[in-house]
Structure 1
Amino acid sequence: MPGPSKKERTHERIVRSAARAIRRDGYEGVSVADIMKDAGLTHGGFYAHFPSREALVVEALDSAASDSMKSLEEAASRSPSGQGLKALVDAYLSDAHAASPEQGCLLAALGSETPRQSPEVRGLATQQVQRFLELLEGQLPKDDTRRREEAMGMLSAMVGALLISRVVDDPALAQSIRKAAKRFVRTRSG
């Protein structure tokens, strides 16, 4: 089976570049020209790959969401039995994730901007929330009748802590916020 074509590889390079740039600089903080330059291409080639900037944004966010979930799923699955939630929370609230919004969770990177975006973008964000909730629920005891509610609280604490830790200009406070959220979420797991 042949590998991806040159056009498919180029398309993927543009999507990855856009996913990083949008999470780093926000929806309006980056232009098509910036994305194409980062991908090592000229602005003129954009429309050979996407019908519009919005189409690129939607595809980039979908890619970013998938990558983020895959990373968290791997963290949980690599952990010893019964330690999936701890591993997931530790990965999500890590110093590395906090320092790299361009590579991490789009909910924490773009959450406050997303309500002003298109229905397609908001739909992707909703899907990301649903996938994250399912992942968290899967780490909780099967007999817990409040799993969904617990997962919602955990998600809120984790995303909120990451966002707040990025907002403050005091590194010690930022780290303390993430540590407190880790402890809080772990106590919710039974």
Structure 2
Amino acid sequence: MSRVSQAEARANRQRVVESASRLFRENGVRHVSVADVMQSVGMTQGGFYKQFASKAALVDEATAEAFSGMLRHLAALDGDHAGHDAAWPALIDSYLSPEARDDPGNGCPAAGFAGDFARDPEWRDTYAAGIRDMAGWIAPGDTGLAALSTLVGALLLARATAGSPVSEEILRAARKAAARLTE
């Protein structure tokens, strides 16, 4: 039996974290087992415990990774548009789209983890830091928090009503409201 190199071990760990992040956002932390995560990357459950102390440690790392990815996405939006003032409307349009509504596994961690962390405070510190960073990208202080709350709340409601006309109405109304919040 061959041992994996340190580089391979780091790459495997990153694959596990990324897959867990997607699965947790898609299905909920409580509905995804360590075996599910490891199966998704083609590894054994025994390999998990060589990399992570516990599922809780993985949840924390997967949450941090998801928010880091979101912050990279936000920075790229600034670069892809003529600065932040043009990036904010682009974020609103993509965030409050049917595509984002229908793809929670690859979507925003603020919305994807909200239900789990509301019920289980174990990982709230990492989640709260991510919320603060995202809101800070939008706008300083209360304005950023209010705008992020509008986005996340609307996305959660649109997901909960997907398939009904009210889902599209929520997305449309929230796009208008979010744009006004930072004027």
Task: Mark yes or no: TM-score above 0.5.
Answer: yes
Q: 2:89 aligns with which of 82, 86, 89?
A: 86
State the percentage of identical aligned residues.
Answer: 29
CA contact (8 A) 1:14 1:35 kept: yes
Name the amino acid aligned to 1:162: L
Match of 2:65 in 1: 63
Match of 2:28 in 1: 26
**1:99 and 2:107 aligned:** no
Could you list the runs of 5+ residues in structure 2 that have no partner in the other structure?
1-5
CA displacement at 1:156 relative to structure 2: 1.2
Match of 1:109 in 2: 112
**1:187 and 2:163 aligned:** no
CA contact (8 A) 2:24 2:32 kept: yes
Name segments (4+ residues, structure 1) moved above 6 Å: none
**1:172 and 2:175 aligned:** no
CA contact (8 A) 2:89 2:179 kept: yes
- 1:151-185 superposed Cα distances (whole Å, 9 cap, x missing partner): 22211111000000000043532122112111111
CA contact (8 A) 2:132 2:145 kept: no
Name the amino acid aligned to 2:181: R
- Structure 1 distance, partners of 2:124, 2:18, is 20
CA displacement at 1:90 relative to structure 2: 1.5
- 1:17-43 superposed Cα distances (whole Å, 9 cap, x missing partner): 111111111010010011000011111
- 1:69-119 superposed Cα distances (whole Å, 9 cap, x missing partner): 222332233112431211121222122211111111122122122033244
- Structure 2 distance, partners of 1:35, 1:14, is 7
CA 1:16 to 1:109, structure 2 compared with 1: closer, same or farther past 3 Å? same
Q: 1:52 aligns with which of 40, 51, 54?
A: 54
Could you list the runs of 5+ residues in structure 1 that have no partner in the other structure?
138-146
Aligned pairs for 1:99-178 within 5 A: 99-119=102-122, 121-137=123-139, 147-178=140-171
How many equivalent pairs are there? 178
**1:5 and 2:7 aligned:** yes
CA displacement at 1:57 relative to structure 2: 1.0
Name the amino acid aligned to 2:120: Q
